[in-house]
Amino acid sequence: MNRFVQGLKGRGLTIFLGLLISFSTSAQSCPTVKRNNGNNAAHTEYATSVINTAYTAVPSSSKEGELTVDFGYNISSSEVPVVEGVYVGGVRQNVDFGPPSKVTSNGGKYEVNYCFYGNNLPPANTFTVKFLNPSDGSLWSQCVYSSSDDNVEVSSDITDNSVCTGESITWTVSAVKTASSNDLDYQWYKGGTALSGETDQSLTISNFAASDAGAYYCVVEESKKNGTMVWSHQTESGTLSLADCSILQITRIQSPDNITISGSNDLTVAFDVEFNRNVNTPTTSDFEAILDGSFSRTISSITSNGSSKRYTVVVDISDADEGELELTVSSSNTISSSTGSLSLNSTTPTVTNNNTFSIGADGISGSV
């Protein structure tokens, strides 16, 4: 289950998100950051580090929020860096930062506020904050952050794929509200641009053409009945490409996140398998499941997963199993397209080959 909370759009509210540091490209250690949306009054007392520098100007556009930065040590006001900008996927966001506030000490935290103006920071899985030395504009630190909140549960089946001309593909996002009275809103994007009218849990692209190729993702938002935002989440992205459908190919094998336990305590691992064209339903003998490269495991069922291109392949395991469970297409398979009678050209997936599931070292307990 994906549990990442992403950047929030400002609606005049104040919400704090604790952010985890993941990477630094500078010798300076990265401070911790909290995102605070809202157009409340900006601070007017600044760190002395910006005096007589080019970083004292306050943007003339409207204030949209602020970053609260805890440096983790008693940083001198004369040493406080400025924020040059925030980057998502290597692209600088159209957000301007004002001068840093003076340092406030609170319970072992040494915090500085950085107001941002003009636009809100967009939702993102991770974002980079570039800090500069105000005295000379040199790099102070460049830090990548990701945010998390265990109250938010969002999952999706979005993944890279290739699609034949004229065929269709559907992706679905699932989210759990923190309160039953709240609303969930969905907006799908292609190449960073909102798709008009695509505001449902599922996105279906019919009659696929070359112009439909690109990267897609969905932004999910939970809000109260009065419109107040609770959280916003951007899913992982999936890139669609135009497939060569003159041949039959397996495009994807995707392992699951967890082992499935049935009501009768049977243990199974369900792999998601997809082809570039509609195929006749494969048989269990068309696949092989091998544990640790040596031990065969039974494939108990193969069922359609919403279309004749996509199937769930279920492998039975025992509670004593541990190691790497690998699903492959048998070299002697009889898989064929439902139109044109094409045979499978290659047993290697062309887009995603995540075909190995790791069973915990203590048997199934480590993976369930």
pLDDT of 121-147, one tens digit each? Answer: 766 666 788 999 999 999 898 887 765
Burial class (CB in 10 A: 0-12, 13-18, 19+), 33: buried
Supply the pLDDT for residue 186.
93
Q: Enter the tokens of residue 247.
A: 């041949």
Percent of the chain with pLDDT over 70: 83
pLDDT of residue 317: 93
Q: What is the pLDDT of residues 99-112, one digit of tens each?
A: 999 999 877 889 99
Asked if pLDDT for residue 345 goes beyond 90, the answer is no
pTM above 0.85, yes or no: no
Hey, what are 47's tokens?
Answer: 């760190």
pLDDT, greater one: 197 or 118: 197
CA–CA distance, 70 with 86 (Å, rounded to integer): 17
pLDDT for res 182: 86
User: pLDDT at position 295, please?
Assistant: 95
272: pLDDT strictly greater than 80? yes
Q: Greatest CA span in the chain, whole angstroms?
A: 76
Distance CA 293, CA 323 (A): 9
Locus of tokens 């108990």: 300
What would the CATH number be for the domain defined by 153-242? 2.60.40.10
At residue 15, does pLDDT exceed 70?
A: no
The per-residue pLDDT for range 295-305, each reduced to its tens digit, is 999 999 999 98
Give me the architecture of the 250-366 domain, per CATH.
Answer: Sandwich (2.60)
Average pLDDT over residues 282-294: 96
Q: Band of the pLDDT at 149, cuts 50, 70, 90?
A: very low
What is the predicted pLDDT for the residue at 123?
63
Q: What's the pLDDT score for residue 24?
A: 39
**Are the CB atoms for 350 and 162 separated by under 8 Å?**
yes
In this prediction, residue 8 carries a pLDDT of 29
pLDDT at 359 over 80: yes
Label residue 175 left, alpha or beta by phi (over 0 means left) and psi (-120 to 50 means alpha): beta
Three-state SS sequence of the chain: CECCCECCCCCCCCCEEEEEEEEECCCCCCCEEEEEECCCCCCCCECHHHCCCCCCCCCCCCEEEEEEEECCCCCCHHHCCEEEEEEECCEECCCEECCCECCEEECCEEEEEEEEECCCCCCCCEEEEEEECCCCCCEEEEEEEEECCCCCEEEECCCCEEECCCCCEEEEEEEECCCCCCEEEEEEEECCEECCCCCCCEEEECCCCHHHCEEEEEEEEEECCCCCEEEEEECCCEEEEECCCCCECEEEEECCCCCEECCCCCEEEEEEEEECCCECCCCHHHEEEEECCCEEECEEEEEEEEECCEEEEEEEECCCCCEEEEEEECCCCCCEECCCCCEECCCCCCCEEECEEEECCCHHHHCC
Taking only the tens place, the pLDDT of each residue in 195-218 is 999 999 999 999 999 999 999 988
Provide mean pLDDT across the span 69-73.
89
Average pLDDT, the chain: 82
The answer to whether residues 68 and 83 touch, using CB atoms and an 8 Å cutoff, is: no
Give the model's confidence band at 265: pLDDT under 50 very low, under 70 low, under 90 confident, else very high. low
Q: What is the pLDDT of residues 317-333, one digit of tens each?
A: 988 898 999 999 999 99
What backbone phi and psi angles, to 5 degrees, belong to 77? -60, -30
Residue 281 has pLDDT above 70, yes or no: yes
Mean pLDDT of 219-229: 79
| Residue in the structure block whose two tokens are 């203590």 | 362
Residues with Cβ within 8 Å of 161's Cβ and at least 6 positions away in sequence, in order, are 169, 238, 239, 240, 241, 251, 252, 274, 351, 352
Residue range 28-50: average pLDDT?
77
Contact between residue 287 and residue 329 where contact means Cβ atoms under 8 Å apart? yes
What pLDDT is attached to residue 125?
Answer: 60
Q: Which residue has the higher pLDDT, 82 or 245?
A: 82
Residues of the chain with CATH 2.60.40.10: 153-242
